[in-house]
Amino acid sequence: MTGDLMENNIIPMYNVSKFNFSDEEKLILEELRENLIDLAISEQMSSFNEELILKDILRFLENRLQNRFDYEYKENLARNMMKELIGYGEISSLIEDDDLEEIMVIGVNAPVFVYHREYGMMETDLFFDGEDKIINIIDSIARETNRRIDQQSPILDARLANGSRVNATIPPLSANGPTITIRKFKKDHLSIVDLIRYNTLNSEIASFLWLCVDWLGVKPANIIVSGGTSSGKTTLLNALSIFINPKERIISIEDTLELQIPHKHILRMEARTVNIENQGEITIEDLVKNSLRQRPDRIIVGEVRGKEAITLFTALNTGHSGFGTLHANSSRETITRLINAPMNVPKIMISLIDFIIMEKRIYMSDGISFRRITEIAEVVGMEEGTIQLSKLFQWDSENDQFQNLTIMSKTLEEMANLKGVSFLN
Ligand SMILES: Nc1ncnc2c1ncn2[C@@H]1O[C@H](COP(=O)(O)OP(=O)(O)O)[C@@H](O)[C@H]1O
Ligand SMILES: [Mg+2]
């Protein structure tokens, strides 16, 4: 569902289409909410069976409204009430809109803001007039993700089932009331062709990466996609995965399942955080360690950031190939991060990486952003204790074009030798 778009001079408006409950219906809704919370607490439910709940609500409404309205009205009402109750209340329709990248609740009596994929930052006509309404949404997110938020732990950091990341805070941490920041993950993943169309990369770079990822079936390159928050790292990794040779056995390891790799032979592993009793955690590192006993050809780590880095590099050292994203602002910084705490990868192992792809989210003055692969660097080895990088491609911001700087690529040469073919760079 997409809200209406309306332009004004300073910041474009986004009109939320919402259901208007009558006063009586609002009362019923509150009653239902309390029943539902009791039910959730008594049964320790972390997820709901929507069909059953819809039936329950409908029965409740039939009882209350008797035959004052026709069945169709009551069914529609029940559906909208369910959305309020087990969805994310008034922001449900925003969460469902795939054109939005971010949803930002900044407190009480202030508009909710959204970041639109095409129009950039927008103001919505949605206001919360009481803290409790925002808290209700935060509570249902906490319940769904088995977390809690209260005065003892007033910050909630969670991932929704659909891959979206949520951060929430409550007063007094946030002075103007509870806040919610949601970074959404696009339901329809961008393909490599979409990325070429958006000029995130060009077809020359795409074919180069194809060659590197597939490696003519000889020895696939180890690649790290690096960039800032929301620069499109995961999206690029996902798009590149189409080039993985279908004969490979892939193991993907993530915090939350975001990657949608089209291959048949894949094990998708998801880490687990502690439950309410602080138990049962399975980390990315545990999963990377375990993957070594699963005979992987390629290990894909959604985001490398901790101790799992060493385990991953050990795997690369024993002939597996690896693919992952990392948070850094340049290829040099990528290496600095890898060799320092908490990752602590021995310097000597860094040359196991073949390429670092840098991606950036670039903002224009009108608040609209776009993504570019700003650099592809090849790790060529180590000289006098310094890791040597060679730039193969570079984005030129002045005319928004990509420059091919490849005079020679170590990786391509190696591939050509192994395969007995020659390449013209
Ligand atoms: N090249 C791109 N062009 C336009 N939108 C993109 C592009 N890459 C990613 N996005 C969108 O940006 C958001 C963040 O992307 P994501 O891949 O999760 O970033 P990261 O992994 O770097 O945090 C998603 O909503 C995604 O759909
Ligand atoms: Mg990511």
The domain that holds 284 is classified in CATH as 3.40.50.300
CB 256 within 8 A of CB 185: no
Report how far ligand 1's centroid is from the alpha carbon of 117 (Å).
Answer: 10
CA dihedral in degrees (297, 301, 306, 312; nearest 10)?
10
Nearest CA to ligand 1 atom 23: 230
pLDDT in tens, 363-379: 988 878 999 999 999 99
Report residue 48's pLDDT band, with 50, 70 and 90 as the boundaries: low
pLDDT the model gives residue 215 = 76
- In a shared domain, residues 164 and 257: no
pLDDT exceeds cutoff 50 at 334: yes
**Burial zone of 335 (CB within 10 Å; 0-12 exposed, 13-18 middle, 19+ buried):** buried
- In a shared domain, residues 250 and 377: yes
- In a shared domain, residues 233 and 285: yes
- In a shared domain, residues 134 and 226: no
Mean of pLDDT over the chain: 89
- In a shared domain, residues 170 and 254: no
Q: What is the CATH number of the domain that holds 130?
A: 3.30.450.380
Nearest CA to ligand 1 atom 7: 232
3-state secondary structure of 415: helix
pLDDT in tens, 348-358: 999 999 999 99
424 assigned to some structural domain: no
Report how far ligand 1's centroid is from the alpha carbon of 231 (Å).
Answer: 6
* Averaged pLDDT for residues 219-236: 94
pLDDT in tens, 102-114: 999 999 999 999 9
Choose one of 234, 235, 325 to mutate for the ligand 1 pocket test, by most ligand atoms within 8 angstroms of C-beta: 235
Report how far ligand 1's centroid is from the alpha carbon of 235 (Å).
Answer: 5
Q: Which two tokens stand for residue 360?
A: 């950036």
Report how far ligand 1's centroid is from the alpha carbon of 409 (Å).
Answer: 28
Report how far ligand 2's centroid is from the alpha carbon of 255 (Å).
Answer: 10
- In a shared domain, residues 92 and 202: no
243 assigned to some structural domain: yes
Instruction: List residues near ligand 1 (CB under 6 A).
Output: 101, 184-186, 190, 195, 198, 200, 227, 229-235, 325, 371
pLDDT exceeds cutoff 90 at 325: yes
pLDDT exceeds cutoff 50 at 267: yes
277 assigned to some structural domain: yes
Ligand 1 atom closest to the Cα of residue 303 is: 21
344 assigned to some structural domain: yes
- In a shared domain, residues 40 and 98: yes
- In a shared domain, residues 114 and 162: yes
pLDDT the model gives residue 398 = 95
Choose one of 189, 209, 230 to mutate for the ligand 1 pocket test, by most ligand atoms within 8 angstroms of C-beta: 230
CA angle 182, 374, 97 (to 5 degrees): 25
Report how far ligand 2's centroid is from the alpha carbon of 230 (Å).
Answer: 7
399 assigned to some structural domain: yes
Q: What percent of the chain has pLDDT over 70?
A: 94
What Rg do the C-alpha atoms of the chain give, in angstroms? 25
pLDDT exceeds cutoff 60 at 1: no
> Which residues, other chains included, contact 100 with Cβ-Cβ below 8 Å and sequence gap of 6+?
94, 114, 115, 116, 117, 184
Ligand nearest to the CA of 233: 1
- Ion ligand 2: residues, CB within 5 A, are 233-234
Nearest CA to ligand 1 atom 20: 230
425 assigned to some structural domain: no
Nearest CA to ligand 1 atom 8: 232
Report residue 380's pLDDT band, with 50, 70 and 90 as the boundaries: very high
Q: Which residue pairs from 110-117 have beta carbons closer than 8 angstroms and sit at least 24 positions apart in sequence?
A: 110/176, 110/177, 114/14, 116/5, 116/12, 116/14
For residue 30, how many other CB atoms are within 10 A of its CB?
Answer: 10
- In a shared domain, residues 174 and 320: no
Final residue belonging to a domain, choices 131, 150, 183: 183
Final residue belonging to a domain, choices 131, 159, 183: 183
How far, in Å, CA of 273 to CA of 24, rounded? 41
Ligand 1 atom closest to the Cα of residue 185 is: 25
How far, in Å, CA of 143 to CA of 396, rounded? 47
The residue segments making up the domain with residue 306 are: 192-419
Final residue belonging to a domain, choices 183, 212, 228: 183
- In a shared domain, residues 310 and 390: yes
Please tell me the pTM assigned to this model. Answer: 0.83
- In a shared domain, residues 61 and 155: yes
- In a shared domain, residues 176 and 36: yes
* Sequence-ordered alpha helix ranges (H) in 301-394: 308-317, 331-339
Structural domains of the chain, count? 2
85 assigned to some structural domain: yes
pLDDT exceeds cutoff 60 at 129: yes
246 assigned to some structural domain: yes
Report how far ligand 1's centroid is from the alpha carbon of 190 (Å).
Answer: 9
